[in-house]
Structure 1
Amino acid sequence: MSQIKIGASKGNVLVSVAEKGYGNLFLCSKCRNAANCECGGKLQIVGTGKVPRCYICYKAHNDWRCNFCGGNLPYVISKGIERLAEEIGRALPKIPLLVSSGTKQIRLMPKGNHIVLATAGSEPQDLYAAVILFDGERIVNRPFLRSEELARHSWFSILNRSLDLAEVFISLPNKHPLTQSLLRSDSSYLVKQILKERKTAKLPPFFRMAVVTGIKKDISKFSENLKSATTYEVNGPIDIDSSNSKIIIRASLEESSKFVDMLDDVVRLQGLKGKSVFQIRLDPFDL
C-alpha cells in the first residue's frame, strides 16, 4: 500500500488487476478443498454479502457448506477487481476510489487525486503518479499459448501512461523475464526468451502448425494416414465433445508449401465428395 499512498499524494494511481468480479474462486478455509457445485462447476462469490453461485449452472448455494469437512467459511484465492477495491478502500478510506472494468469503463479521470482499479484495456486515459501491476503470476501463467506475450503488451502499454519518477510495483519476482524487460524498458529481452521457448516447443515462427477439427471417425482416419505416410509431427486425436475431435500437426519451414497444399487438397476433396469439411486453423493464435 505504500506505493499507492505515495502516488496518491502526487496524482492519480492506476491499479491493474487481472480479473473482474469479486471472489472468482474460493476454498474451504478449514480444509482448503475447492468449493464445487453438484454439476461440477466451481462456485463464485459475486459481491459482498452475496451467496456463492455456480459459474456453470448459476445455482445459488444459500447455505453453502464444504462437501469434505462441513465447514462454512470461504477462503477466497482468486480475487476479482471488486474484492480488491473493497480491500484497498478499507486500507485507504480517505482517498477516492474508482473501478473501471467490463461494461462500466471510465474513459477520462475526474479532477483531483484518485485510485482507479482497472482490468486490461479498461484503463482511463491519464498520466499516473503510481502504477501497481497486480496478479502477475496469474496473468503470465494463464493456460493458453500467448499469455506472456499478452502480459508484456498490456504492462508496457500501462507503463507508457506513468509520469516521470512514478512509483511502480510489479507483482512478479525480480528475476522474471517480464520484470527484467520492464526494468530495462526493453521488450526485446522477453521476446528473445519467448522465441527461444517457441523454437524448443516447435511452434511458429520456427515451424508451421495446423489445428484440424472434425467428426471423430474422420479425424482418426486422417491422423492415421498422416502418421503412416508423412514426416509431419501429429498430436492427437484430442476429443472436443461426443462428436468431434482435433489433431495438431507440425511441419518444418522447408515443407511449408507442401504442407499447406496438402491441407487444401484434403478440404477440396471432402467438398467434392459431399462430406463434412474439416475446420483448419493454420498457425493459430492459440491452441
Structure 2
Amino acid sequence: MTRPIARVLLDSPVPQLDRLFDYAVPAPFEDAAVPGVRVRVPLRSAGRLIDAYVIERATEDDDARTLAEIETVVSAARVLPERLYALARRVADRAAGSASDVLRLIVPKRQVRVEKAWLAAGAEQPSVPAFVPAAEVAATVALYAGLRETLEDRERAAVEAIPRPGQDGHPEWSRLLAAAAATTLAGGASAILVVPDYRDLDVLLTTLEAFAPGAPIARLDSRQTGPDRYRAYLRTLEDAPWIVVGNRSACYAPVRAGLIAVWDDGDGLLAEPLSPGAHVRDVALLRQEQEGSALLFAGHSRTTDVERLVEGGWIRAITAERRVLPRVALDSPEDLDRRGQRLPSRAFLTAREAAATGPVLLQVARPGFSPTLLCASCRTPARCPACGGPLGAAHRGAVPVCAWCGRGARSWACGSCGGETVRLAVSGSERTAEELGRAFPGIRVIVADGAHPVERVDARPALVVATRGAEPQADGGYRAVVLLDGSRMLQAPDLRIGESCLRWWSNAAALAAPGAPIHLVGVDGAVARAFATWSQPAYARSELAERAPLRMPPAVRVAQLEGSAAGVRRALDDLAVLALPADAVLGPVLIEGDENSRERALVRFPYAEGTRVAESLRASVVAEAMGRRRGKGRTARTTLSVRLDVTEPDL
C-alpha cells in the first residue's frame, strides 16, 4: 500500500526549519492539498500548529515511516506557484537566508473576503482583447540602439535614459519603461516594472495610460490597502499577460515575466531592509536567469554594480541613437571661497534670468531651516545636553531642538567655552527659501522636501527649493537648475557617496527643459567632470577599477557576521576550510556600545565563491540556533546573524 504525502515549507523564521518537511495527507484533503496552497500542520517540537505552504506532492510506502498528518487546508487558492518558490529558494540561498523570509515579501497577507470572491469567480482566465500599443511606443523604442532586439531576444541590458522631461508631462525615462512594457505585452508576455518610490510609480502609471491604453495593469506597492494588494496579487496569478508596476516587492510578482525593468537601481529604497536583505537588482538577475525574460536596468547614471556586469559581458550597454547632453556649467569652489557666497554670481544671474520665464530648480542637501547650530563664540557644534545629539533650529530665533531626542535646549551652554549663544551653521531648504525670497522679490518660492511634498509645479515663474530626490516635475521642464551644497553632499561618510551624488545631480538635470542651463556649485574633481561631460559610465568604471585592488564592493562580495564571540569565531573557523584569500576576513571586533560583548566580522570573497560561502555561513547560523536549543547560550543576543552583500561596510 502507498500513501500520499505532501512536502511543505513551514512559515517560520527559525533557521533550522528552513527545509521541506514531509506530512501525510489524510483522505479528506487528498484533492485539496495540492502544491501552492496554504495548510496548517503540527509542529511536534513546539507542540502547536503552524502555517505552511505545500510545495510538492509524492507517494511512499504506507509503513515506510511515521508521519504527522496535515491538520487542515486553509484555502483552496494556489497562491504560491512553483516558479515563485524556486525563485524564493534561490534568493534565500544566495543571501544565506530562509526561503520563508522571502515568501513573506512575495505573498501578501491573506484577505478572506477577497480570496473567496476570487475563488467564486473560478479564477478563470479573463478574455483579454488584442492589445494594440499606442503609436508613440514604436517611436520611443526606436530612440535606443538595440532596445528592440534586446526585448525580442530576451537579453539583458543597461539602458542610459535620455535626460529630458519629455512631452505631455511624461518624462523620457517613464516613456522608455512604458514603451518597453507595451512592446512586451503586445508580444503576449507580461512585464514587471520596478521603481523606487511612490512618486516614480505615479508618473509611470500616468505614462502607461497613454502608451498602453486598455492594457491590464496591476499595481503592487506598500501604499495599497491589504485587500487591494491581495486582490492584485491574485489577479496576476492568472495566465493572462499583465503589466505589473510597483516598488521592491513587485519584482516577485507571480506573472510569467517576459520583461523585468528596474529604474534607478542605485536608489537605496530598492535595497530590502528585511531579512535576508536581497537587493532588487540581484532578485531581477536571478529571476531573469530562471525564466529567460528580458532584463533592463535603466537610469540617468550607472551604478558600479551594473558597470561590473557590463564589463564582464553579462549585460549589454544601450544608449540613445542620438545622445542628448544637458548644458552643465561648473562653478568652482574657489569662486565661493573668494566671495564668501553660497550662490556664485554666475549662477545667481542665470537663476534670475530664467525665473522671469518659468520655474527654476535649486537643489539643496538638507531639509528644515538650520539643521545644525554652532557656538557663536568658538564655532564648536552645539550638542544636546541630554543625549549629545546635534541641535538645530526650526526658524530664526527658535529654541534649539535636538535632532535625536527632540528635547528643547532653552538653557544651553557650550561645553568648550561656556558660551550661551548659538549661530546658524547649515542652511536647510526652508532657510534657503527665506534667503532667496529676499534676493528675488516678487517671485514665488516653493519648498519641496519630506515635510512639504510637491509632485508638480506649473510653468509660471517660481523658485523651487528641493532636497535631493524630492524635486517635483515642472510643466515643460525647469528653465534652469542650480545644484547647491554639492561639496557638503560629497563629505558624507559613505563608500558610494560620489556615485550617489552623480545620480542625484543627473536625475535633477533630467528635469531641465531642453537647452536649459544647469549649474553645479562648489564641486570639482572626477565626479564633477563626469557630470559636466555626462560620462557617468566612465566614472563607474573608474570607481570599480579603484575598488578592485582594495577588495571593496562591488568588486567583491562582503558578508557581515554579528553575534557572540564564540559564535562568530566558530563561523570563521568553518569558513577557513574554503581557502579564501589571506585578507578575506576583517575582524572580529567588539561592537561599540553593546553591553553583551557581541562581535562583528566582515568576510570579503569573490563572486565565484558565493555559493560555498553562503552555504557555510547558513550552516553556522543553523548550528548556533541548534546550540541554543540544547541549552548553550540561552540569551537571545547570542544568536548569530549574517548579512550578505554589504555595500557600505563599517571598516
The alignment's TM-score, normalised by the length of structure 2, stands at 0.41
Instruction: State the partner residue of 1:191.
Output: 540
AA at the equivalent of 1:280: V
Using a 3 Å threshold, how does the CA distance of structure 1 residues 265 and 86 change in structure 2: closer, same or farther? same
Partner Cα separation in structure 2 for residue 220 and residue 267 of structure 1: 12
| C-alpha distance in structure 2 between counterparts of 1:60 and 1:284, whole Å | 37
Distance 1:24 1:217, change over 3 A: farther
**Is 2:615 aligned against 1:261?**
yes
1:191 Cα offset (Å): 0.8
Give the AA of the match of 1:11: G
Aligned pairs for 1:107-146 within 5 A: 107-126=455-474, 127-146=477-496
1:255 and 1:111 mapped to 2: Cα distance?
54
Q: Is 2:513 the counterpart of 1:163? A: yes
Residue 28 of structure 1 corresponds to 375
Distance 1:47 1:197, change over 3 A: farther
Partner secondary structure for residue 544 of structure 2: helix
Name the aligned partner's letter for residue 586 of structure 2: N
One-letter code aligned to 2:595:
S
Using the TM superposition, give the Cα deviation of residue 220 of structure 1 relative to its aligned residue in structure 2, in angstroms. Answer: 5.0
User: Residues 258 and 111 from structure 1, CA distance in 2 versus in 1: closer, same or farther, beyond 3 angstroms?
Assistant: closer
> Does the Cα contact within 8 Å between 1:17 and 1:119 map onto a contact in 2?
yes
Is 2:583 the partner of 1:239?
no
Q: Deviations over 1:191-230 (max 9, x none)?
A: 1222123213312332221011223443355457767995
Partner of 1:286 in structure 2?
A: 648
- Pick the aligned partner of 1:13 from 360, 365, 373: 360
Q: 1:196 to 1:78 in 2, by over 3 A?
A: farther
Unpaired stretches in structure 1, ≥5 consecutive residues: none
Letter of the 1:242 counterpart = E
Measured in 1, the distance between the counterparts of 2:595 and 2:573 equals 20
What's the C-alpha RMSD, in Å, of the aligned pairs?
2.4
Answer whether contact 1:180 1:189 (CA < 8 A) is retained: no
2:414 is aligned with what amino acid? C
After the TM superposition, list the runs of 4 or more consecutive aligned residues in structure 1 that deviate by more than 4 angstroms: 220-230
Q: Is the 8 A contact 1:177 1:193 kept in 2?
A: no
CA deviations 1:166-189 (Å, max 9, x no partner) are 222112433x22211121122112
Q: In structure 2, what is the Cα distance between the partners aligned to 1:9 and 1:36?
A: 42
**Measured at CA, do residues 173 and 266 of structure 1 come closer, stay the same or move farther in structure 2, by a change above 3 Å?**
same
- What TM-score does the superposition give when structure 1 sets the normalisation length? 0.89
Query: Match for residue 182 of structure 1?
Result: 531
Distance 1:277 1:105, change over 3 A: same
Instruction: Report how far residue 125 of structure 1 moved.
Output: 1.0
Residues in 2 aligned to 1:59 and 1:209: alpha-carbon distance in whole angstroms:
38
Give, as a single letter, the amino acid of the residue that structure 2 aligns with 1:246: R
Q: Which residue is equivalent to 2:267?
A: none
> Per-residue deviation at 1:165?
2.7
Q: What residue is the counterpart of 2:438 in the other structure?
A: 90
Q: State the alpha-carbon separation in 1 of the partners of residues 604 and 464 from structure 2.
A: 45
SS in 2 for 1:131: strand
Contiguous gaps of at least 5 residues in structure 2: 1-347, 630-637
Note if contact 2:371-2:393 (Cα within 8 Å) is conserved in structure 1.
Answer: yes
Are residue 59 (structure 1) and residue 407 (structure 2) matched? yes
- Number of aligned residue pairs: 286
2:577 maps to 1:250: no
Relative to total residues, which structure has the larger strand share, 1 or 2?
1
SS of alignment partner, residue 23 of structure 1: coil
Aligned to 1:273: 627
Q: Partners in 2 of 1:267 and 1:14 — Cα distance?
A: 50
Amino acid at match of 2:619: D
Deviation of 1:254 after TM superposition, in Å, equals 4.5
Cα pair distance change 1:64/1:271, threshold 3 Å: closer
Question: In structure 2, what is the equivalent of residue 42 of structure 1?
Answer: 390
Q: Report SS of the residue matched to 1:250.
A: strand
